[in-house]
Amino acid sequence: MNLGIVQITSANTKRKKLLVNKIIPKCIEISGGNYTLVSSFCPVLKEAVEQLGGTFSEYTAWERDMSRKWRQGLETRKEEWVCFLADDILPDDNWLEEMKNYLSSKEPGQYGFRLTDENGKRHEFGEDWMQFPEQTTQAQHRPLSYDVDTGAIEESLTAYVANCVCHKDVLAQVEPFGLFQLMPDVMWSLAIRECGFPISFNPKARAYHLGSREDNR
């Protein structure tokens, strides 16, 4: 599988240590160097990325415009599949193999994967808000089929953009976040579905959400 990874952050992130020591090396390893980090200028992050053969893309516009950051990162990636990751997401050691197996039988589309805390428990930004959509503003992410015991998700209304893999055909047909002002990731997924592309989740591929770790600082 030809896979690229786009990750976004900022120079003032509290997660520099986590990015430099764990996340950036792992993402560059599993992507074979097909990795882009989009951030306002930060010598520490730039060096960490470029020393390992990745691409550092300096962002100079409004820091909170996440949609523009994602689009800037995508301009550097030409692979068949592109994975979007927030700056506190760490794929586990089996993530790539599980995604390869899963996508080998899939049509071009948008596909999510399992997101837990570092102990493997369901996480409020992963499966829990999909299981209990009435407790979150992100109800549009609600899956159509969810198995609480196994975590199996067959199909979803939308995918969480900071936790998904998307095919190049989708990216070419549906401009990522281009015209959406409110909840751009949700609206983008809905547009993808409207264009007839499948959206589903792979429960066997796991990534860890490390946003609450004390060593992020």
What digits encode the pLDDT tens for the residues 67-88?
A: 888 889 999 999 999 999 989 9
Rounded distance, CA 94 to CA 83, Å?
A: 15
pLDDT at 118: 80
- Average pLDDT score over residue span 108-129: 69
Residues of the domain holding 44: 3-113+157-211
Q: Give the mean pLDDT of the chain.
A: 79
pLDDT at 1: 82
Joined together, the tokens standing for residue 23 give 């996340």
Identify whether 51 is part of a domain: yes
Identify whether 130 is part of a domain: no
Residue 148 per-residue DSSP state: T
Is the confidence at residue 146, as pLDDT, over 80? no
pLDDT at 179: 53
Identify whether 120 is part of a domain: no
Is the confidence at residue 158, as pLDDT, over 60? no
- Average pLDDT score over residue span 31-43: 96
Identify whether 89 is part of a domain: yes
Q: What is the count of structural domains for the chain?
A: 1
Q: How confident is the model at residue 92 (pLDDT cuts 50, 70, 90)?
A: very high
The CATH number for 51's domain is: 3.90.550.10
Identify whether 56 is part of a domain: yes
Look up the pTM and report it.
0.83
- 29 vs 181: which has the higher pLDDT: 29
* Residues 110 and 170: beta-carbon distance below 8 Å: yes
Is the confidence at residue 213, as pLDDT, over 70? no
Rounded distance, CA 26 to CA 175, Å?
A: 28
Q: Which residues make beta-bridge pairs with 113? A: 202
Joined together, the tokens standing for residue 37 give 């980090």
- Average pLDDT score over residue span 183-189: 72
How far apart, in Å, are the Cα atoms of 97 and each of 11, 28, 103, 140, 204?
Answer: 32, 15, 10, 29, 10
Identify whether 129 is part of a domain: no
Is the confidence at residue 214, as pLDDT, over 70? no
Radius of gyration of the chain from its Cα atoms, rounded to whole angstroms:
16
Q: Which of 152-156, 172-176, 186-190 has the lowest mean pLDDT?
A: 152-156
Identify whether 123 is part of a domain: no
Is the confidence at residue 37, as pLDDT, over 90? yes
pLDDT at 138: 44
Identify whether 194 is part of a domain: yes
